[in-house]
């Protein structure tokens, strides 16, 4: 059984101190809307083999679960060392106590209600730990990445959506139903733009890559000379590149995105007093000029007056593969 008291985190001993015969690895599975990543990871965070399969979400949840079980079983037959368990980070709202997906939006049709833990445990015979992908990423950063040694941190992923994971006093903060840390759905503009979650005015409705592209398209008619008018397909990366090159439309969107993100982060800081806030996902590639704007707002909006450090995630695209096995290692 999943035991919240056992989710205490600690630095893993170096592999050199573990006798080879007892050295175990964890299999991590990161289920995203586009790709699903499988990786074996040692207790000190070394990747020992990584496989990526397309999620093909439109085929439905049942087909996806069957392919994940099949791939996991195939990898376990070739495991580089004894396997301690399987950690799964999945898109959607996950109840970590049951390992069931409570709700997934249209990015993963048929995933709502999926018993991820039960199905994988039956297929492999191993202990399985499931959480949402943002919580897994937060654990991965705390254990192996930019948050090593930090007991109080918040990890925010700005990608297709906006995810968040909170580590408080060394443990993943789960909340009453395991749904804590939904930073993406902090209201930054009451009654504002619609969010994929069905509410309005959430941070995700302004600061996700999807929202950045939408806001750019809405703003472009006012900028007849913007280079972004020629860009197709328009992406958040292109918008930030244009901002860096001095394009006024790009600069406006970058400034507004930093403003909305800082509005959300001010509440996060005032509520949790984290030592460190890590920003990951594609939008974080906008880099230090973007984060400097966020920091400047927070100097005047957060009661800690800028004492929460804002930095970028270290694991990048590897976070999914490394974060999910961290669920196994954290439970050990």
320 closest CA partner among 123, 55, 64, 105: 55
Which stretch, 131-139, 189-197, 304-312, 313-321, contacts Zn ion (CB under 5 A)? 189-197
Given the complex with Zn ion, which of 202 and 219 has the nearer CB atom?
202
Given the complex with Zn ion, which of 195 and 327 has the nearer CB atom?
195
> Please, what is the minimum distance in Å from the beta carbon of residue 195 to Zn ion?
3
How many positions of this chain bind Zn ion (CB under 5 A)?
A: 5
CB 117 within 8 Å of CB 98: yes
For residue 296, CA distances in Å to 152, 226, 268, 310 come to 22, 27, 16, 11
Residue found under tokens 């949790």: 272
Q: Residue 222 corresponds to which tokens in the numbers above?
A: 């006012």
> Please, what is the minimum distance in Å from the beta carbon of residue 163 to Zn ion?
11
161 closest CA partner among 34, 302, 312: 34
Given the complex with Zn ion, which of 125 and 175 has the nearer CB atom?
175
137 closest CA partner among 90, 180, 178, 101: 90
* Cis amide leading into 233 (omega within 30): yes
Crossing angle of helices 61-77 and 116-124, in 10° steps, is 30
Given the complex with Zn ion, which of 180 and 197 has the nearer CB atom?
197
Site for Zn ion, residues 194 to 253, rule: CB under 5 A:
195, 197, 199, 202
Site for Zn ion, residues 95 to 154, rule: CB under 5 A:
none
> Please, what is the minimum distance in Å from the beta carbon of residue 204 to Zn ion?
5
* 185 contacts Zn ion (rule: CB under 5 A): yes
> Please, what is the minimum distance in Å from the beta carbon of residue 93 to Zn ion?
11
> Please, what is the minimum distance in Å from the beta carbon of residue 203 to Zn ion?
8
310 to 329: interface string for Zn ion, x by CB under 5 A? --------------------
> Please, what is the minimum distance in Å from the beta carbon of residue 264 to Zn ion?
11
Q: What is the DSSP string of 110-141?
A: T-TT-BHHHHHHHHH-S-EEEEEHHHHHHHHH
For Zn ion, the binding residues (CB under 5 A) are 185, 195, 197, 199, 202
């Amino acid at each position: 059984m999943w035991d919240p008291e056992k989710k205490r985190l600690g630095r893993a001993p170096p592999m050199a101190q573990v006798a080879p015969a007892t050295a175990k690895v964890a299999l991590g599975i990161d289920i995203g809307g586009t790709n699903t990543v499988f990786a074996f990871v040692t207790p000190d965070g070394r990747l020992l083999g990584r496989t990526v399969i397309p999620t093909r979400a439109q085929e439905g949840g049942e087909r996806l679960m069957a392919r994940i079980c099949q791939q996991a079983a195939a990898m376990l037959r070739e495991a580089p060392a004894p396997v301690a368990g399987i950690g799964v980070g999945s898109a959607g709202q996950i109840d970590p106590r049951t390992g069931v997906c409570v709700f997934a939006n249209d990015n993963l049709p048929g995933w709502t209600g999926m018993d991820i833990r039960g199905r994988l445990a039956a297929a492999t015979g191993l202990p399985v730990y499931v959480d949402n992908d943002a919580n897994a990423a937060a654990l991965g950063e705390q254990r192996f990445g930019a948050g090593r040694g930090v007991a109080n941190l918040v990890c925010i992923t700005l990608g297709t959506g906006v995810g968040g994971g909170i580590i408080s006093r060394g443990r993943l903060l789960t909340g009453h139903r395991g749904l804590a840390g939904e930073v993406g759905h902090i209201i930054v503009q009451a009654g504002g733009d619609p969010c994929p979650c069905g509410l309005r005015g959430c941070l995700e409705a302004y600061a996700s890559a999807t929202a950045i592209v939408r806001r750019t398209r809405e703003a472009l008619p006012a900028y007849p000379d913007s280079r972004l008018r020629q860009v197709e397909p328009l992406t958040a990366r292109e918008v930030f590149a244009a901002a860096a090159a001095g394009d006024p439309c790009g600069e406006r969107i970058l400034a507004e995105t930093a403003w909305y993100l800082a509005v959300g982060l001010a509440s996060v800081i005032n509520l949790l007093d984290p030592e460190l806030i890590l920003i990951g996902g594609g939008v974080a590639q906008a880099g230090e000029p973007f984060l400097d704007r966020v920091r400047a707002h927070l100097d005047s909006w957060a009661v800690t007056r800028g004492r929460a450090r804002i930095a970028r995630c270290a694991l990048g695209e590897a976070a999914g593969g490394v974060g999910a096995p961290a669920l196994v290692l954290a439970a050990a």
